[in-house]
Amino acid sequence: MRITFLAGTLGLGGAERQLFHILGALRRYGAEVRLLSLTQGEAWEQRIRAEGVDVEWVGRKASRLWRLARIAAALRRDRPDIVQSQHFFTNLYAVGAARLAGCHEVCAIRGDGLLEVRRNGWLGRLSLTAPRTLAANSRAAIEHAVSLGVPRERLHWLPNVVDTDQFRPVPAAAGRPFTLLWAGRLTPVKRADRFVRLLAAVRGATRRAVVGIVAGDGPLRAALQGEAARLRLGSDCLRFAGAAQDIANHLEGADVLVSTSDHEGTPNVILEAMAAGLPVVATAVGGVPDLVLEGETGWLFPAGAEEAMAGAVTRLVEEPQRARAAGERARMRAETVHGLDALPAHLERLYRAVIA
């Protein structure tokens, strides 16, 4: 098959990491792939080129009509079987260009699908209803799309994947304290303040040694450090590690991943934690419930249930064997459902349905 992908950005995001995995899988299985990008010179571009994928910049001008014409011209030139949009906000480009060039389009829904529709108004609704085929990375997104009027037969599940060779369980160092990890941008929607309060509550509820790590940076760092000081969480029990260049190092030193967001897509860090053998305690938002099996690989809570989340973490601190057992199940699920080896089968099902 010949498949041309369309990306709105190649920056350091989860959708871009998934694009890298998809392109690699398709090349290994003999497909001809090319990439059209609205941006130039961003983080993933060099890595994608190193995999032997040609990347063409089609975002030289801000005009939507100009970009659509460039994309359609590239499709007419290359004559792919499918043009696949990797971002929700590039769906309409893919739809229009595919119709002009006479090929099939596969468009994207990230996370639960609802937030992007709300953010983009009528364009968001059109980005959901116009495509003839949509690949969603969560089952919640599929159900939300159906509730908004998208025929179910247009919707296909294409789950996020993780490199289970890069992220692996590592035995805990003898004598280290039970460690809680939070990872993400320090922005309002991520609600790292909940993690700071959760750590204080857990430390107050157990006699065992418990520490926390915040892996990430952002505009709320100073405010969070102030909250930690107010709760008497010194650097010996809560470490602000800054932007996570290599999250694998933090996962190796942790016992539980805690996610406290008000909104999420389908977070790569949760998959990476599962692959590293960590249980996850998280808010049940976006595509998170697709990843975490309640009571098996982790525990899910409504976004405001701070006390209940702290209670669940406290039980894991008091019963570390329970945490280890959930982590083992998480690793198994990461390998069987979300491993790179599972990706070709997911892609084959999707493309067979499109061509049919």
- Do residue 347 and residue 298 come from a single domain? no
- Do residue 250 and residue 266 come from a single domain? yes
Residue 171 inside a domain? The answer is: no
- Do residue 91 and residue 106 come from a single domain? yes
Mean pLDDT of the chain: 94
Asked if pLDDT for residue 245 goes beyond 80, the answer is: no
Residue 89 inside a domain? The answer is: yes
Asked if pLDDT for residue 111 goes beyond 80, the answer is: no
- Do residue 79 and residue 216 come from a single domain? no
Half-sphere exposure of 58 (CA within 13 A, CB side): 28
- Do residue 319 and residue 344 come from a single domain? no
Q: Which of 35-44, 120-129, 242-251 has the highest mean pLDDT?
A: 35-44
* Global pTM exceeds 0.85: yes
- Do residue 332 and residue 307 come from a single domain? yes
Number of domains in the chain: 2
Q: Which residues contact 147 (CB under 8 A, 6 or more apart)?
A: none
Residue 321 inside a domain? The answer is: yes
Residue 190 inside a domain? The answer is: yes
Residue 116 inside a domain? The answer is: yes
> What is the residue range of 239's domain?
178-338
Domain with residue 138: its CATH number is: 3.40.50.2000
- Do residue 44 and residue 157 come from a single domain? yes
DSSP string, 21-37: HHHHHHHHTT-EEEEEE
Residue 169 inside a domain? The answer is: no
Q: Which residues contact 293 (CB under 8 A, 6 or more apart)?
A: 329, 333
Instruction: State the pLDDT at residue 150.
Output: 95
Instruction: State the pLDDT at residue 38.
Output: 98
Instruction: State the pLDDT at residue 166.
Output: 93
Instruction: State the pLDDT at residue 329.
Output: 98
Q: For the chain, how far is it from start to end, CA to CA, in angstroms?
A: 14
The pLDDT tens digits of the residues spanning 253-277 come to 999 999 999 988 889 999 999 999 9
| Helices marked H in the chain | 14-28, 43-50, 64-78, 91-101, 114-129, 139-147, 192-205, 221-230, 247-252, 268-275, 288-291, 306-318, 320-338, 343-355
- Do residue 219 and residue 315 come from a single domain? yes
The pLDDT tens digits of the residues spanning 281-292 come to 999 998 899 899
Residue 167 inside a domain? The answer is: no
- Do residue 260 and residue 183 come from a single domain? yes
- Do residue 73 and residue 200 come from a single domain? no
